[in-house]
Amino acid sequence: MAVQQTQALPPQYVEDLQKDFGTQLTAMTATPLNTGLFAPKVAGQDQAQADAYTMATTQGQGIGAFFTLYYTSGSILRTNCLSTFYVSVSTRCN
């Protein structure tokens, strides 16, 4: 018994395009690509953002002024805040 096989080949122009594309792709990927060019970059801060950051992180200015008040040993603010936090957590967890 003979086996009959049928193939549906693409048109000749498609085969030519595939060969051409394969040749160009091989040549293009032969040299290493500098992926550092695609690394994300972070925008710099403007003056208002820089000033806000300085005020927030400098002790004695802005929110930083509360640093010594909060972190002094036996501070009433810290004791009250922590006790309130522990009470609220313990009542939610029980």
In this predicted model, what pLDDT tens digit does every residue of 18-70 receive, in sequence order?
Answer: 999 999 999 988 988 888 888 888 889 999 999 888 887 777 777 666 666 66
Domain edges within the chain: 65-94
Average pLDDT of 2-16? 92
Q: How far apart are CA 16 and CA 18, in angstroms?
A: 5
The confidence score (pLDDT) of residue 15 equals 93
Q: What is the mean pLDDT of residues 60-81?
A: 64
Whole-number Å distance between alpha carbons of 15 and 7: 15
- pTM: predicted TM-score of the whole model, two decimal places: 0.33
